[in-house]
């Protein structure tokens, strides 16, 4: 899975916003990914997940292919097996497109993917999405990610 080319300052800001939003969710997701145009922007994970080895490239590729195009105008909550991480288990995956409501902060292909071990974690994941989307809009980063995802000038 290839990363979306971005200026370092933009990637740092977006990464910090993702980490804050994920940490504020109760229960916190095991892994949080932000993708744009089907390419990885940034990722955050719980410390226990990091110590356990994290995601392999093939599992990340699977997630981006399965969920990286977002959920249209909605949200997806589905079990997903990551065979390289644990072929005998699964996460609950949440995916939502950010900025797809047609307002001036639209992200154009920006998708949040959260992985949880909690069966009832949908509402926490949706709250994480709302917080992240508010921050990205307020900073103007959602629009910048959309431009980068579409191969805009300077990216």
Mean pLDDT, 10 residues at a time, over the chain (155 residues)?
88 97 92 92 77 78 80 82 89 90 57 94 96 97 92 64
Could you tell me how many residues make up the chain?
155
Instruction: Give me the residues paired with residue 44 across strands.
Output: 32
Distance, CA of 154 to chain centre: 23
Instruction: Give me the residues paired with residue 31 across strands.
Output: 45, 115
Give the residue numbers spanning the domain of 128.
8-149
- Domain membership flag for residue 81: yes
- Domain membership flag for residue 80: yes
Per-residue confidence (pLDDT) for residue 105, from 0 to 100: 47
- Short-list 62, 66, 137, 60, CA closest to 98: 137
Q: Kindly report the pTM of this predicted structure.
A: 0.88
Number of domains in the chain: 1
Per-residue confidence (pLDDT) for residue 136, from 0 to 100: 97
CATH of the domain at 98: 3.30.450.30
- Domain membership flag for residue 35: yes
Per-residue confidence (pLDDT) for residue 131, from 0 to 100: 97
- Domain membership flag for residue 100: yes
């Amino acid at each position: 899975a290839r990363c979306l080319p971005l200026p370092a300052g933009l990637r740092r800001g977006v990464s910090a916003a993702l980490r804050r939003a994920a940490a504020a969710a109760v229960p916190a997701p095991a892994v949080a990914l932000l993708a744009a145009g089907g390419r990885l922007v940034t990722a955050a994970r719980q410390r226990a997940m990091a110590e356990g080895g994290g995601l392999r490239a093939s599992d990340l590729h699977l997630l981006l292919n399965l969920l990286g195009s977002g959920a249209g105008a909605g949200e997806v909550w589905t079990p997903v097996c990551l065979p390289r991480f644990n072929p005998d288990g699964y996460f609950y995956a949440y995916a939502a497109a950010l900025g797809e409501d047609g307002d001036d902060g639209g992200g154009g292909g920006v998708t949040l993917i959260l992985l949880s071990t909690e069966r009832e974690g949908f509402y926490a994941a949706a709250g994480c999405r709302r917080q992240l989307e508010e921050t990205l809009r307020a900073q103007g980063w959602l629009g910048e990610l959309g431009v980068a995802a579409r191969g805009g000038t300077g990216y």
